[in-house]
Amino acid sequence: MMIDQIPTAFLFFAGALVLLALPQGRLRGVLLLLVPILAGWQVWSLPFGNLQPVSFFGFDLELMRVDKLARLFGLVFCLSAFLGNLYAWHVRDTVQQVAALLYAGSAIGAVFAGDLITLFFYWEGTAIGSVFLIWARRTEGAFHTGMRYLIIQIGSGVILLAGVALVYRETGSIAFEKMTLGSLGTWLIFLSFGIKAAFPLLHNWLQDAYPAATVTGSVILSAFTTKLAIYALARGFAGTEILIYIGAVMTIFPLFFSEMENDMRRVLAYSLNNQLGFMVVGIGIGTDMALNGAVSHAFAHILYKALLFMGMGAVLFRTGTIKASELGGLYRTMPLTTILTIVGAVSISAFPFFSGFVTKSLTFAAVGNAHLWVIWGALVFASVGVLSDTGIKIPYYTFFAHDSGMRPKEAPTSMLLAMGLTAALCIAIGVYPAPLYALLPYDVDFTPYTTGHVIGQFQLLMFALLAFAVLKRAGIYPAEERAIYLDTDWSYRWLLPRMIRWIATLTGRIWGGTTGMMHRRVQNIIAGLYHSHGPEGRMASVWPTGSMVIWIAVLLGVTLIVSFFG
């Protein structure tokens, strides 16, 4: 078959070209759905191995290295490209359509890259493709956010390239295989992966950019970039101990911020960050089971996070706002969106019989097997946090809580269809995880539905729910606005409430202070540079002929001195 000869990523790029030739309308929508289906089918039918060796500039590139790990990510990327495009059926914006294809194509290309140079090309491809999903909003704010996002993403690529060059110098190989941290080169590669994976302190681009994208853009954004980084970490740094601690911090750190956040899509961005933490922990442990956990969690996570972004996107699409304080009571007119969002919320909270449960419990089991009890505790804490932050906060304040008085129409059919399909997949994986387990890179010897697991999880969830209910009941009497204040801290009211607030404020202050200072300093530097190098500056001004000649004499003198006495 001809199609087997083409790297999967090129299918997407070719699709983008064909798209430009088609008139705006249904035909484009069909093409946008067809491309991921075709690509998914291709990925599914490819044999394992290195299929597309190419020689470029003296290097042997591997455009299609297919194995179980790559195939799983390739499949889920095709799947989420399909769902995202279905969700975006109503969009009639060429920029977004092309960007979605280029972005998804680059991400898939990166997953199948068998060498670091190919990886670098696609790595930058994802950055360039995705930024247009932010710019497509066409506001001044979106432009600046996009610019910041692009700088960080391109920066990650540049660091990657530097790392690759160093590793190549050291080992003489550009193969993308497991690496050990140690040399500067591997550290740089690690750092570049870390930026895309939104490691703590490298994470700000995520919460900055995702809520700023278009309604459909953030659905597509949520799927690829960070999960590509997770794939890259799983491929390159499995079993790197430091990842366990980074991951643990990552699961907890975003909770404080998301708890205080009012913008629902930003809440989702924070909880995305937190979910990445679970995967990073799994990769850090590096046992077969832990890697299975991380990878399957990525798979499930892409789906339910997309579902949540879809739900919030639909609300934004219909109401024009996504602020918790302005929303509420939408269940009356958007019942289907409500139900489907709740499915996503329940999945992310890892209720039994939903996808989050069967994948997260793999990670938990792996942490338990490794006897990392502190980490285990952190993850439990984070799980409770997710439930309150996302599992309850998102549906509660959007669809229930105090009535905002808004009566928007139900979401468009294409959106509902996309959400319905995604929700069905979330439930299907949760009820019958065997097919997903079969796709995982290592053999799975694990049953999620043992009495112990289920009861343990229910205890955790019920306790958290109970706490919520009790506090809610106690808080019914105060005016409704106070409920919003309540949500900031209710789940931690029984857990060092002051300290958390203090940490959050302090971090915020320090962050604000340092960035403010940096900002001022950068402004000053630029002003100084402009003063000296600008068109009116000394460096750029037109010099009189005589002083030009002086330079010649000076340089001759210096050269002579250096030559004679050096």
Partner 1 sequence: MSAQALHTARTLSDHLPVLIIIIPFLAAPLTVLIGSRRLAWPIAFGAALSSFVISVLLLLRVLDSGVISYAIGGWLPPIGIEYRIDAANAFVLLLVSAIGTIVLPYTIQSIKSEIPERHHTLFYTMYLLCFTGLLGVVVTGDAFNVFVFLEVSSLSTYVLVAMGAQTDKRALTAAYDYLVMGTTGATFFVIGIGFIYAATGTLNMADIALYIQVHGTNRTLETAFAFIMVGMGLKAAVYPLHLWLPNAYTYAPSAVTSFIAGTATKVAIYVLLRFMFTIFQPDFLFEMHAVRWVMMPLAILAMFAASLIAVFQSDFKRMLAYSSIAQIGYILLGIGLLSTTGLTAAIVHLFNHGITKAALFMGVGALVLRSGSSFYAKIEGMGKVMPFTSFAIVIAGLSLIGVPGTAGFISKWVLVQAAIEQGYWPLALAIVGSSLLAIIYVWRVIETLYMKQPADGWVKQEAPLTMLVPLWIMAGATVWFGIDTELTMTAARTAADGLLHGFMAGGQ
Applying CB under 8 A, the residues found at the interface with partner 1 are 57, 120-121, 124, 158, 162, 165-166, 169, 529-530, 533-535, 537, 539-540, 542-543, 545, 548-549, 551-552, 554-556, 558-560, 562-564, 566
Nearer to partner 1, 25 or 535 (CB): 535
| H helix or E strand, kind and range, residue 61 | strand 59-62
State the nearest-atom distance from the C-beta of 19 to partner 1, in Å: 19
Nearer to partner 1, 58 or 435 (CB): 58
DSSP-derived 3-state class of residue 115: strand
State the nearest-atom distance from the C-beta of 126 to partner 1, in Å: 15
CA-nearest of 229, 252, 241, 230 to 285 is: 241
Nearer to partner 1, 493 or 538 (CB): 538
| Residue 382 Cα distances to 328, 386, 492, 505, 540, angstroms | 26, 6, 12, 20, 56
Residue with tokens 């995604």: 422
Nearer to partner 1, 155 or 412 (CB): 155
Residue with tokens 């970039």: 225
Cα separation, 288 vs 147, whole angstroms:
39
The DSSP bridge partners found for residue 56 are: 59
State the nearest-atom distance from the C-beta of 198 to partner 1, in Å: 23
Residue 566 DSSP one-character state: -
Nearer to partner 1, 469 or 554 (CB): 554
Cα separation, 186 vs 492, whole angstroms:
39
State the nearest-atom distance from the C-beta of 146 to partner 1, in Å: 12
Nearer to partner 1, 134 or 436 (CB): 134
Nearer to partner 1, 201 or 556 (CB): 556
Cα separation, 462 vs 466, whole angstroms:
6
State the nearest-atom distance from the C-beta of 41 to partner 1, in Å: 30
The identity of residue 510, as a single letter, is I
Cα separation, 253 vs 284, whole angstroms:
18
The identity of residue 462, as a single letter, is M
Count the Cβ atoms, other than its own, within 10 Å of residue 116.
25
The DSSP bridge partners found for residue 181 are: 183
- Taking each helix axis from N to C terminus, what angle separates 215-236 and 288-319, rounded to the nearest 10 degrees? 170
State the nearest-atom distance from the C-beta of 68 to partner 1, in Å: 30
State the nearest-atom distance from the C-beta of 22 to partner 1, in Å: 20
| Residue 470 Cα distances to 256, 473, 475, 483, angstroms | 21, 5, 8, 13
Nearer to partner 1, 1 or 21 (CB): 21
Alpha helices in 112-139 (DSSP H): 116-135
State the nearest-atom distance from the C-beta of 426 to partner 1, in Å: 39
State the nearest-atom distance from the C-beta of 61 to partner 1, in Å: 12
Nearer to partner 1, 455 or 554 (CB): 554
The identity of residue 188, as a single letter, is L
| H helix or E strand, kind and range, residue 447 | none
State the nearest-atom distance from the C-beta of 563 to partner 1, in Å: 4
Cα separation, 167 vs 116, whole angstroms:
10
Q: How many residues does the chain have?
A: 566
Nearer to partner 1, 451 or 563 (CB): 563
* Structure tokens, 339: 């139900």
